[in-house]
Chains A and B, each alone.
Chain A
Amino acid sequence: MLLISCPNCGSRDETEFHYGGQAHVAYPESPNELTDREWAEYLFYRDNTKGAFAERWLHSTGCRQWFNMLRDTVTYEIQAIYPMGSPRPDAAGKVTAETGTASTAADSTTTGSAAPSIAATSTSPTSSTTAPEGATK
């Protein structure tokens, strides 16, 4: 059982939350201009990261608010919790860029205008070395 620190409510059991998938997948700027493949990739293709992964969570039986979480998919360590709309707080993205296995991330998900924000946030050298405290309000 994960103990998740909701930014509004504090520590609660994982059962109070719903998982919302990968974070920072921006809606395409011009959906009508996408090819079917690009659109499918926007809809369905997600990173399969080993390590720090930015994802969305909803505190469904609490305050019913969404937030972002940086979680290690190997150790389950929650490295950061941060508001919707703010950039990923670690210096990551490098992880996906370096490991060749993340081909869908580098090529597909960020194809053209499909999800420019991923490229922007993930490769930007925001060097807040360690993630900010999880439950900061």
Chain B
Amino acid sequence: MAETAAPANSAQKNLSLRVSPAAPLGGAFEAGSVKGVVELREVSFLTMVGLRVDRNSDAGQRIAAVTGGLPAASGGVSGTGDTSVLWLGPEEFLVVAPTEAHESLGGDLIQALREALADGAGQVVDLSANRTTFELTGPRARAVLEKGCSLDLHPRVLSAGTALSTEIGNIPVVLWKTGEESFRIFPRASFADFLGRWLLDAMREYASPEVP
């Protein structure tokens, strides 16, 4: 049969076909964002690598040299340049890096981590497709999250540069406070649609004038 003749021939073509988990909500995110109050968007296809290693072991120190450190305790974020490492557990970390760091785009981050681990005890796993990234920004971002997150998000407790595994709207996520009024939220791909809609719903009241 004729149509079997031309298979997709390049990684480039495959990449152009991929759809991020919350892509169908892109328009709704734009429409639901309230400029200068609270805005939501999906950051697609960030490179994410799951690390499991004892940070005090030799392998842990070799990996830390690649990532720019491994955080020591809950909430911690290490990193260098645009590569960040979030603490997930005593021996579990999540590396978050730009899309271009992925090996499918010629990046060498994952390979470098694998080489750093070498035969040490641990894991380096490409988890880029596991979670997607939401960016929630604006002076009302905290108020939106507080509707569905039991952590104390007040700045006196949660300072910028902290990342915590928790629940938002009953969805397990990693919540990373990247700035005073900006958060990154990492839900697993299959929860992205629900959480996206949940956030839109929570944002809706800020589109209207405040009731005095």
Residue numbers of A with Cβ under 8 A of B are: 8-10, 12-13, 15-16, 61-65
Enumerate the 9 nearest inter-chain pairs by beta-carbon distance, A residue then B residue, closest first.
A63-B89, A61-B172, A13-B150, A9-B74, A62-B165, A64-B89, A8-B74, A61-B167, A65-B89
Bound: A12/B74 CA distance, A: 12
B166 and A65 contact, CB distance less than 8 A: no
Q: Are A63 and B166 neighbours in the complex by a CB distance under 8 Å?
A: no
Q: Find chain A residues with CB under 8 A from B170 CB.
A: 15
Residues of A within 8 A of B88 (CB): 63-64
Which residue of chain B has the shortest Cβ distance to A15 in the bound complex? B167
A63 near B150 (CB under 8 angstroms)?
A: no
Which residues of chain B have a CB within 8 Å of any CB of chain A? Answer: 73-74, 88-90, 92, 150-151, 164-167, 170, 172
* Nearest CB of A to B30, in Å: 30
**In the complex, chain A residues whose CB is within 8 Å of the CB of B90:** 8, 63, 65
B149 — nearest CB in chain A belongs to which residue? A13
Closest Cβ neighbor of A137 among chain B residues: B73
B69 to chain A, nearest CB (A): 19
- Chain A interface helix/strand/loop/mixed: loop
Chain A residues whose CB sits within 8 angstroms of the CB of B89 once the complex forms:
8, 63-65
Is B166 touching A61 in the complex (CB atoms < 8 A)? yes
Q: In the complex, what distance in Å separates the CA atom of A8 from the CA atom of B74? A: 6
Assess the B166–A62 pair: CB atoms within 8 A: yes
Q: List the A side residues contacting B150 at CB < 8 Å.
A: 12-13, 15
Give A15 to B73 CA distance when docked, in angstroms.
Answer: 22
Closest chain A residue, CB of each to CB of B172 = A61
- Contact status of A10 and B166, CB under 8 A, knowing A64-B88, A64-B92: no
Which among A12, A13, A16, A63 has the greatest number of chain B C-beta atoms within 10 A? A63
Neighbouring B residues of A64 by C-beta, 8 Å:
88-89, 92
The CA of A8 and the CA of B76, in the complex, are separated in Å by 12
List residues of chain B with CB within 8 A of the CB of A13.
150, 167
The answer to whether residues A16 and B166 also contact, given A9-B74, A10-B74 and a CB cut-off of 8 A, is: yes
